[in-house]
Structure 1
Amino acid sequence: MNQQEKIRVLAEKWLNGTITEEEKQEFEHWYNDHPEESLNWMSADSEDELKARMFSQIMDEPRINRLTRKFAIAASVLVIIGSASLFFYTYTSGKRKDSEPQIARTKIAPEKIEGVSLTLANGSTIPLEMVNTGPVASQGSAIIHKQPDGQLAYLHQNRESQEILFNTISVPKGSKVQSIRLSDGTIAWLNMESTMHFPVSFSGKQREVEITGEVYFEVSPDAARKFVVRTQTSSTEVLGTHFNVNTYGQPVVTLLEGKVKFAGNGSEQLLAPGQQARLLPGSKKIHLDKSPDLEAVMAWKSGLFKLNNANVPTIMEQLSRWYDIDVNMGPGLNDVRFSGMMERKKDLAAVLEILSLTREVRFEKNGKSLTVLANTRIAN
């Protein structure tokens, strides 16, 4: 059996629900390495028939009642979006019926390095896509170096500087996750639409940075100097730990390792590993979640987008940052929810087409503006 025949067999097994975990990993590995390659099915199924078979597996599931079935269908499409389903729905051949949702196939791909910038103490800005690997600039007692993997590293020079200098790194919408190694060895990863303002060299009794957006930290231990992350309305204090700070809405801190103290609105909360704290809007209280979905929280750092019963406005807010698009929401979308995983490298048209195939939503695109509308249907 040659490679093409083997892949067709694995695809059929995936569709029929008979694929093993080992075979599933093999299929995903092949798909990730050959995303544009076509596949001629051994079965006579048309694209419509393949979709019907997928949906029938959900519709026939006895544990799903009529009220929740439509959400299960939506979830099923996204559960395997990172592997077989996107291949089935995006790259299979065959004519579409006029009644099928149509999405303009203009590719808008995420994770472009253009726009990531570093602002130096004198106000000058360096676009990182224009910088080659090696020294970038000298700031006080530190030299900034761009590593082969794109990370920025602040390295100490053999001289002292009495002046405290600050730099700012900015990662816009539609860009890429950017990592930076600070002068104390702490590493920070910035998600899209995020900034971090920091000293080129830490001095005094504490290490302090200011952020907007979402940043994940792996803090270098220093028992003598705590590490403080400040946002507009909160602060997080640690000595050495791994944690994520999300400020797209109300500040949310998720602890993966170590211990942190989260403070805001006059309240404080200590977190243990695996816990999450958030400021409640219009309140001085801090909500503590002892079992958040850590995989969903940290998916962005791995180039993934995980949905865990997320409604359409939440999904589109993230896609807006991901693809740098302006989203307008129609009514009736708060109760339409999805679960699953997507890869950041997929282009926007492919993602919208998958969502449209659920028949729960439809899209109208005009340039960088996207309108999301609920599909009206008669309930069974």
Structure 2
Amino acid sequence: MSEKEIFDLLHRYASGNYAPEDAVKIRQLMADSRYHAVILDFMDAFWEKLEDRAENSPPVSRDQKDLIFQRIAGKMEPTIAPVPKSRNIVRIWTLAGAAAALVLFISVLLSRKAADSPVVQRDVPIAAVTDIAAPAATYAYLQTDNGLKLGLKELGTLPGSPALITENGSVMVRYISQQNNVPRQSQWHELVNPRGSKKINLTLSDGTLVSLNAGSTIRYPAGFTGAIRVVELKGEAYFEVAKDKKHPFTVHTGSGDVEVLGTHFNVNTSRFDSVMQVTLLEGSVKVSHNGRSDVLHPGEQAVVGDVIDVSRAVESKQVLAWTNEEFNFTGMDLREILKEIERWYDVDITIAQNVPEMRLSGILSRNLSVRQVLDIVSLSSGIQFTINNKIIMVTAGE
């Protein structure tokens, strides 16, 4: 192949507009040391293009790029520490000479320098869809207890409905702060953020801030009344609770309750069936379920099911990666990873019985398409997948 043909091939692969035979050629290139210099030249050009688009980008030397290439291609011992308590770990960034070297290099650049670049969807018939772009917007909507359903653009048009605020590219549903001389409303509202949607931010009437992940729903009063502030959650949300010692704040889920006065924490009921995961960043909270309870301190995490299992040292960056439009799969089970992919891309994944249990590690931008993410998972784990519209079949590799 000529250098121009190789550059064209790499560019198609980097942009996601590649055919299956292109992926085969990429693997062949990565396995042949004669082409490594050409691939590094492409990385040079790609990096410089991204540096032109990013502000305050640090210069990267040729030696650094070569080191990145060698580590990703599996030719050097990785510096990433192994995930403890597992004998079946696959590190996404140590793929042995596969095309994932290129994909991962590019995904790291995209995550660091151009994470806001949307994946362009091609105008093709539905029956021919074999890739799905990352969500480009939030598709959340509001429901009231009297059955009224409002899209985001309709907010603020009816009495008692919240305002829609857009700040720095983020969308927020904001309620008017309660004042002592203003009667509190008793009507309950429900904010629904469906699968395949960017996060939606919410400011409750007491000033509490909430970020709601895709595939999640929060139910709350338009104005808090009574001695306690109560909200109901299905899915995942990050809370920054406004302090009010006279009115404790409680998050109720089907798997337990979280009681606070004013603090920052993340609640996830989506990762495991019938289980609530609570991670505390600031302050203190009490988690309870079926007569059992435990108090968490900053940096701790509770998994609440039949029992309450508390971990005393948790990496908060991994827990909150979704709020920064990242996937952080460090030490995660393959099936947990696929559940996250289902929720973000609004797809249904069927896993064949012959797919083995395994754990993976890696950090990727959520702005990659589903095929780009699955390519990386596939090349690191050996699984295979097929995409047919929004149905994905996962099978064990040969």
TM-score normalised by L of structure 2: 0.69
Change over 3 Å in CA distance of 1:205–1:352 after alignment to 2: same
Change over 3 Å in CA distance of 1:83–1:207 after alignment to 2: farther
- Offset from partner CA, 1:327-346 (integer Å, 9 cap, x none): 00123444332111111111
Q: How does 1:7-86 map to 2 (within 5 A)?
A: 30=50, 33=53, 54-58=72-76, 71-72=89-90, 74-76=92-94, 83-84=105-106
Shift of 1:86: 6.5
Is the 2:268–2:278 contact (alpha carbons within 8 Å) kept by the matching residues of 1?
Answer: yes
Whether 1:272 aligns to 2:297 is yes
Q: How does 1:108-187 map to 2 (within 5 A)?
A: 108-113=132-137, 115-128=139-152, 130-131=153-154, 135-139=156-160, 144-149=162-167, 150-156=171-177, 160-161=182-183, 164-187=186-209
Q: Which runs of 5+ in 2 are unaligned?
A: 1-35, 38-43, 55-61, 63-67, 111-127
* Match 1:220 to one of 238, 242, 248: 242
Partner SS for 1:211: strand
Letter in 1 for 2:50: W
Shift of 1:311: 2.2
Letter in 2 for 1:153: R
Shift of 1:54: 3.9
Change over 3 Å in CA distance of 1:314–1:207 after alignment to 2: same
- Offset from partner CA, 1:117-170 (integer Å, 9 cap, x none): 111243211122x44xx834322xxx5111123201101488744651110000
Deviates more, 1:70-79 or 1:107-116: 70-79
Is the 2:70–2:76 contact (alpha carbons within 8 Å) kept by the matching residues of 1?
Answer: no
- Offset from partner CA, 1:51-86 (integer Å, 9 cap, x none): 89843425799x99xxx9995454435899675356
Q: How does 1:326-345 map to 2 (within 5 A)?
A: 326-345=348-367
Q: How does 1:278-297 map to 2 (within 5 A)?
A: 278-280=303-305, 283=306, 285-297=307-319
Letter in 2 for 1:348: V
Change over 3 Å in CA distance of 1:206–1:32 after alignment to 2: farther
TM-score normalised by L of structure 1: 0.72
Letter in 1 for 2:299: G
Partner SS for 2:329: strand
- Offset from partner CA, 1:267-289 (integer Å, 9 cap, x none): 00000000011123xx3x21010
Q: Percent identity?
A: 30
Partner SS for 1:305: strand
Q: Which runs of 5+ in 1 are unaligned?
A: 1-14, 17-23, 35-41, 43-49, 89-103
Question: d(CA) in 1 for partners of 2:210 and 2:349?
Answer: 29
Q: State the match for 1:194 in structure 2.
A: 216
Shift of 1:32: 10
Change over 3 Å in CA distance of 1:354–1:220 after alignment to 2: same
Shift of 1:358: 2.8
Whether 1:262 aligns to 2:282 is no
RMSD: 3.6
Letter in 1 for 2:230: E
